[in-house]
């Protein structure tokens, strides 16, 4: 079953508004002054919709919204105002993501832990970039090139549900990234690749966080696993690669065009929330959980 745009918008708004009223609104201080043109739930809904990767930029999304969404959002306002509201509501987007993840993720014996680059600026422009001092230079082994930006650490269930995430400078090692995940959640077991392999780290993580990290050691290491174990673990870890590709292709993770760290954080968090909401909608419709491309009839 594929949702038409009206049904999709209504479903997303209702889901967001329910979570907002139950979990988010009680945490907010009383607002002073006149009411904004768009409610918080409307801004959150637009932020999730803009996170779908069919638009090359926020400007392209806003042009589309001004043409197709006046009936749903008659007080749409300007793109710059939307940017400011989305950045202001970034903490709520984070809470929305975590709440949806808790509601969506089924019980599972383990999580898969990994990281992916989030570039923000080309190398020649780094010196004059507003990200200088925040982003960092690092090497991307997959693309075999240097990049300037951040690294997104993810914890993913075997079904492909993102349960927690951490956006850190690109030169941060795997250990701080893993610990940023463990601060958010303490699942009993995580599968990870060679970058997270260390007897000392594993012992400390068991003592501090109560988690067991099964990270593949190098084959020449004295703790090397049998070949069958490597293959079995590799098959189980493939789901995180699928999730990362979906974030990049389906939700435009690398096409954010953010100009500030606050803007980047808001966009990445919105994409994570949109991803988890898409999984929840697919589950409700008895579809394949990661079939995002055919979920909406645009």
- pLDDT-derived band at 286 (thresholds 50, 70, 90) equals very high
* Average pLDDT for 174-180: 95
pLDDT value at residue 33 = 65
Tokens of 193: 């690749």
Grouping H, G, I as helix, E, B as strand and the rest as coil, residue 212 is: strand
Helix then strand then coil, in percent of the chain rounded to 5, is 50, 15, 35
- pLDDT-derived band at 162 (thresholds 50, 70, 90) equals very high
pLDDT of 30 higher than 80: no
The answer to whether the CB of 13 falls within 8 A of the CB of 5 is no
The percentage of the chain sitting over the pLDDT mark of 90, rounded to a whole number, equals 66
Helices (H), the chain: 5-19, 40-50, 58-68, 79-88, 90-104, 174-184, 199-209, 227-249, 261-284
Name the one residue in this structure whose structure tokens are 């594929």: 2
pLDDT value at residue 40 = 92
More confident residue, 10 or 144: 10
Tokens of 232: 């079995």
pLDDT of 74 higher than 80: yes
pLDDT value at residue 278 = 95
pLDDT of 50 higher than 90: yes
* Reported pTM: 0.94
pLDDT in tens, 214-253: 998 887 777 788 889 889 999 999 999 999 999 999 999 9
pLDDT of 126 higher than 70: yes
Question: 53 vs 46, 194, 201, CA distance in Å?
Answer: 13, 31, 37
Grouping H, G, I as helix, E, B as strand and the rest as coil, residue 260 is: coil
pLDDT value at residue 63 = 94
The answer to whether the CB of 273 falls within 8 A of the CB of 96 is yes
Domain with CATH 3.30.420 in the chain: 107-260
Q: Using CA atoms, how far apart are residues 62 and 72, in angstroms rounded to an integer?
A: 14
Architecture of the domain delimited by 107-260: 2-Layer Sandwich (3.30)
Is the backbone of residue 98 left (phi > 0), alpha (psi -120 to 50) or beta? alpha
């Amino acid at each position: 079953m594929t949702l038409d745009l009206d049904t999709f918008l209504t479903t997303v708004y209702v889901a967001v508004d329910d979570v907002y009223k139950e979990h988010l609104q009680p945490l907010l201080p009383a607002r002073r002054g006149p009411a904004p043109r768009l409610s918080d739930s409307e801004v959150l809904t637009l932020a999730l919709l803009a996170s779908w990767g069919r638009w090359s930029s926020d400007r392209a999304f806003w042009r589309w919204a001004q043409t197709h969404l006046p009936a749903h959002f008659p007080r749409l306002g300007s793109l710059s105002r939307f940017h400011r509201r989305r950045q202001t509501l970034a903490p709520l987007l984070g809470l929305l993501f975590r709440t949806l993840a808790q509601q969506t993720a089924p019980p599972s014996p383990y999580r898969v832990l990994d990281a992916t680059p989030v570039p923000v600026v080309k190398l020649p422009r780094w010196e004059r970039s507003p990200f200088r001092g925040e982003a960092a230079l690092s090497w991307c082994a997959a693309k075999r090139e240097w990049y300037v930006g951040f690294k997104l650490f993810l914890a993913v269930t075997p079904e492909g549900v993102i349960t927690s995430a951490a956006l850190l400078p690109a030169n941060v090692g795997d250990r701080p990234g893993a610990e940023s995940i463990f601060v958010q959640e303490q699942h009993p077991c995580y599968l990870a690749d060679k970058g997270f392999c260390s007897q000392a780290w594993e012992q400390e993580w068991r003592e501090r966080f109560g988690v067991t990290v099964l990270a593949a050691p190098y084959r020449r290491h004295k703790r090397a696993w049998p070949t069958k174990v490597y293959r079995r673990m590799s098959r189980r870890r493939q789901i995180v690669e699928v999730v990362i590709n979906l974030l990049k292709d389906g939700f435009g993770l690398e096409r954010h065009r953010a100009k500030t760290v606050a803007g980047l954080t808001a966009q990445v968090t919105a994409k994570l929330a949109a991803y988890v909401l898409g999984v929840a909608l697919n589950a409700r419709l008895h579809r394949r959980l990661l079939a995002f491309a055919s979920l909406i009839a645009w």
